[in-house]
Amino acid sequence: MTTLDPDIAARLKRTADGLVPAVVQQHDTGEVLMLGWMDDEALARTLTTGRATYWSRSREEYWIKGDTSGHVQWVKDVRLDCDGDTLLVKVDQVGAACHTGDRTCFDADRLGPTDV
């Protein structure tokens, strides 16, 4: 078990199940890749190892992005928003970020106008 810095832990506002959403962005282009969930342990592992680690709500276990797919996320920067309830994880994405095989999880469904 990895311990999260108490100063960071004190700033987090978690959901009822102890999680914080993590918006994942390509560090050099700003492309939004995916949304993952982290608890204190996942965030501590991410900050310690430099590999993006998440909590899977469906499998109820930790997963390190790329361990099975090879599509690794090398962490370049992690930021906490002003409310303390969302993380921004800037990564160097190797391969696809989405479990569907797409580069980003936000390619498929446009819900509104594009010429606003």
Give per-residue pLDDT as tens, 68-100.
Answer: 899 999 999 999 999 999 999 999 999 999 988
pLDDT tens-digit readout, 23-32: 999 999 999 9
- What is the per-residue pLDDT for 108? 72
pLDDT of 59 above 80: yes
pLDDT of 65 above 80: yes
- What is the per-residue pLDDT for 44? 98
What are the sequence ranges of the domains in the chain?
Answer: 6-93
Superfamily of domain 6-93: Phosphoribosyl-AMP cyclohydrolase (3.10.20.810)
Q: How far is CA 108 from the centre of its chain?
A: 19
Q: Give the residue among 91, 44, 99, 46 at the shortest CA–CA distance from 72.
A: 91
